[in-house]
Amino acid sequence: MDTRRDFLQKLGISSLVLPFMPLSGLATTKTEKLYDGPVLRVAIMGLGGYGTRVAEAMKSCVKAKLVGVISGTPSKIKDWQAKYSIPEKNCYNYENFDEIKNNPDIDAIYVITPNALHYDQVIRVAKAGKHVICEKPMAVNAKEGQEMIDACKKANVKLLVGYRMHFEPKTLEVIRLRNAGEFGKIMFFQGQCGFKIGDPAQWRLNKKLAGGGAMMDIGIYAINGSRYMVGEEPVWVTAQETKTNPQIFKEGVDETIQFQMGFPSGAVASYLSSYNINYLDRFYLVGEKGFAEMQPSTGYGPIKGRTHKGELTQPHITHQTVQMEEMAGIILEGKEPIVPVNGEEALKDLKIIDAIYLAAKTGKKIPLKL
């Protein structure tokens, strides 16, 4: 059965007929049927800036719908109720959200809270019998990540992680080209991710809430990006940390880390993760037969890229809209994404981050087994 999403993929992604028109702006045509399949009913936990971005993007979804909220701030709940027509019975706080197990109108919870809170909240959601979408990093270390995976498996619910780039059209085109052999044997990857952070009092600079610093927030993009662009799992890592302002970047909160990884084929990678350098959002992949460059590579878009064959021209559609549509398909229809977004995928990034911190601390080359 044709669906609205199928139609958009045919027109918006394959033929690029409507490259920048939002999903909600497309009129029904004779070849399109209004979507009448299952809809993933989602509650967002954490009503901050990114939670708002996801909520706005979901207005254009047809397979996913925002139906509930979880927040510790009553005024935010009231605002979201009015803005998104959320019924009172679907509103919870951090103390009582376990009661969501008795609410048949909510299928999944999207956890968008500070990193260190994910562990407890995801496990509680799983015990409540709801599917989980968790922002990255999934946890603050691999031990917690594994326990979250185990809890979701025990509860027989899905655990997905907010890797929006795994659905981004230009990113997927680079992966397709690599799989088709267009770059030849991959030799080198470079990933640069960073920005100069603002408010020194924010939670991202609080070790107890963030679990680290720039690496947990922005460096993870370069780690994950190298894995899907190189197409292999790294086998070793080395790292060097630089800290110029210990008053802002306190113990356990990394300011800038340079790190390197090696892959089984012999490909090597170089990375820069920073909270003190602007304009870092670039991936560069080099093979024996060609290259791919993306800059910006992970921002909210539009992503820009080129290869030795020319500019990448795939359309920009709001990342969070595509992500939620595709995740609805994964949860409700058993779809398999080109690049995984499950807990096991996120656990690999956490293992690498653990090793990077250890390498930076010890100065040693740390073997990886993912």
Q: Which of 136, 170, 348, 351 is catalytic?
A: 136
Residue 58, helix vs strand vs coil = helix
Euclidean distance between CA atoms 120 and 131, whole angstroms: 15
Residues 6+ apart with CB under 8 A from 115: 137, 139, 140, 209, 210, 211, 216
Q: Are strands 91-92 and 64-70 parallel, antiparallel or unpaired?
A: parallel
Residue 218, sorted as left (phi over 0), alpha (psi -120 to 50) or beta, turns out to be alpha
Euclidean distance between CA atoms 350 and 361, whole angstroms: 17
Nearest to 344, CA basis, from 149, 98, 156: 149
Catalytic residue status for 208: no
Nearest to 229, CA basis, from 260, 180, 186, 198: 186
CA-CA distances (angstroms) from residue 256 to 58, 243, 244, 249, 360? 34, 6, 9, 10, 11
| Cβ proximity of 97 and 124 under 8 Å | yes
| Cβ proximity of 236 and 262 under 8 Å | yes
Catalytic residue status for 335: no
Q: Which of 35, 163, 221, 228 is catalytic?
A: 221
Number of H helices, E strands in the chain: 11, 15
Residue 42, sorted as left (phi over 0), alpha (psi -120 to 50) or beta, turns out to be beta
Euclidean distance between CA atoms 366 and 322, whole angstroms: 36
Tell me the catalytic residues.
Answer: 136, 221
